[in-house]
Structure 1
Amino acid sequence: MHAVWIVVSSRKRRNDVAEVSESDCKATEAAKRNVKRAQEAAKRKRTIANLPEATRRGLAEQARKGRERGGRPGHALEDRNREQLYEIAREMDLRGRSKMGKWELIDAIRAAR
């Protein structure tokens, strides 16, 4: 095993020397690469920012209504979030519900009623 020596500065002593194994160095480098890749992917994705303005406005309106209700579900299906709709679909035992989005869940629940 090859050891890599690094200089660690501390408040008590300046330039303490610590031994770090090569595998620790590789793991650290891999973690840094993964973080960088995740940050780049998040920048590329930014799905809400890339939506049309009318759609963004609609999402903001839904969020505002939810805040006004204090996070409680509304009576209309449109006023509920995807998790709440998923629970309704689960109780109704609708097939394929895990792959459905909010509006698909609304359509499926209405069709099943």
Structure 2
Amino acid sequence: MTRRQAEAARRNVEKAQKAARAKKTLTKLPKQTRRDLGHQAAMSRQRGGQPGHNLEDRTRQDLYEVAKSKHIEGRSKMGKSELIAAIRRAG
């Protein structure tokens, strides 16, 4: 998970908590939402806010920057999956 993803997860948790406070309880959130929020928070704590190592965990913009540093041509027209494949081919 990248720093941006960790921040987004933190914002999502804060937003859900704010909504829950407005409703006075987290128990009114759907069970899957509560589970997902807990999972996001646990993963972020586990990494200490550091980005994940898997390319699939990164955003397209993060992958674009990696491709740029590896001088991969045509990167601006590539989607996330294409960037991942090109980065892996480039080594």
Query: Shorter chain as normaliser: what TM range?
Result: 0.3 to 0.5
So what's the TM-score if we normalise by structure 1? 0.38
Higher relative contact order (CA 8 A, sep 6+): 2
So what's the TM-score if we normalise by structure 2? 0.47
Decide which structure has greater strand share: 1
